[in-house]
Structure 1
């Protein structure tokens, strides 16, 4: 399965969870909407932070989701690599595994 296919599966699973638990998932969605807008940090900067956290915490679904938004925001490969490098600095060896997944997905989408 490609990373793009995994991302589509994740969207379907999220939608099913939202249907099963609309109150909690609605609140989570509201939190996301309230944060992911330009402020002192741009949306792109916030999404780069989220990508770094997703790599460091080893959440493949989060990596795919935040990479999708970053691509919409016009992220460069160099920005992705620097974010991966920072995540590796904070998480060590596991960051190299999940950072590799993040870079592979970016490259797949290009």
Structure 2
């Protein structure tokens, strides 16, 4: 089992970006607007969009992305089975590197699920 601390990583990212938010408010406002537009309900619902976002985080090997999108999926009521099926596609498309980050994503799911409930 992974001992990686996604909750701590996410907190650290938020803390580190706080000064950037103040220094670059237009950039951060623009990023926020982009995120809201991309994740808005449409032909795809929020949960499906978050599954896609987590898949991209796994394929791009972004631990912070994994943490934030796992947390969002938990809030949206996603199941472990849904995440595991999506991760199977990640492994199919990304091979061994995606398999390594699949393990990280599942560990994040287990740890953040306990913290969420």
TM-score, structure 1 normalization? 0.92
Q: Does 1:40 align with 2:7?
A: no
Structure with the bigger RCO (C-alpha within 8 Å, sep 6+) is: 2
Distance 1:19 1:68 in 2: 25
Partner of 1:49: 52
1:97 maps onto 2:86 in alignment: no
**1:14: how far off?**
2.9
Distance 1:63 1:6 in 2: 10
Segment drifting more, 35-44 vs 18-27 = 18-27
After the TM superposition, which residues 3-82 of structure 1 pair with which residues of structure 2 at under 5 Å, given as runs? Answer: 3-82=6-85
TM-score normalised to the size of structure 2? 0.87
List alignment gaps of at least 5 residues for structure 1.
Answer: none
Tell me the distance in 1 between the aligned counterparts of 2:52 and 2:94: 14
* Runs of at least 4 residues off by over 4 Å: none
Q: What CA distance in whole angstroms lies between the structure 2 residues aligned with 1:86 and 1:15?
A: 35
- Structure 1 residue 83 and structure 2 residue 113: aligned? no
Q: Deviations over 1:40-59 (max 9, x none)?
A: 00000000001001100111
- Classify 1:74/1:93 alpha carbon distance in 2 versus 1 (closer, same or farther; 3 Å): same
